[in-house]
Amino acid sequence: MKALQSLPGVGPYTAAAIMSFAYDTALLSFDTNLLKIFARYYYGDRSCKLSRDEIVKIQTDFASTGVSGRSMNAALMDFASLISVNSVAQIDWEQYILHDCTFYQTRGSLEAAKVKTRVIFPIKDAQIMVMLHKDHTIYYSSRSTSYAPFLLPPTENDIRHDVQAYFR
């Protein structure tokens, strides 16, 4: 795990996923979906945060089972896709298989219904900033004496088309 995490861009999740899938190590790859499964199981609410100690305990308990890390992570991914619903109203409780978990026992009542608020971005007032580069080694500038990104005027049209037209 430490050697993998020393590589650029590899964090705990990616390292655990590589160890479990490539080497069949008894590790759980804790991504957001797995965290939601355990939060619903123990607390009845997918938005509850598991503590670091709880995650370590789950990992330790799993490691002692002798179950394949590859098989368990694949099963949990499949399970997450089966039960991944955003609304408790969408759940068929007769088909829900984890009867001993808090989420089932409370029929999801602990999971607060979240109302999404939509933020309207003021596109007509926004400028487009374009940074052109070649492989992050050569940067093209709107100025000849020092670097500056290209600032394009606001548009309400197809932004991609307007950017292309500007550089043509």
Domain limits, the chain = 2-105, 123-167
In the prediction, which pLDDT does 115 show?
A: 66
Give every CB contact of residue 129 below 8 A, 6+ residues apart in sequence.
Answer: 149, 150, 151, 152
Nearest C-alpha neighbor of 108 from the set 32, 58, 50, 39: 39
Mean pLDDT, range 48-74, rounded to an integer: 94
Mean pLDDT, range 2-29, rounded to an integer: 93
* Its pTM surpasses 0.75: no
In the prediction, which pLDDT does 163 show?
A: 82
pLDDT in tens, 62-119: 999 999 999 999 999 888 877 766 677 778 888 888 899 999 999 988 887 666 678 8
> ∠37-43-48 over CA atoms, to 5°?
75
Mean pLDDT, range 47-75, rounded to an integer: 94
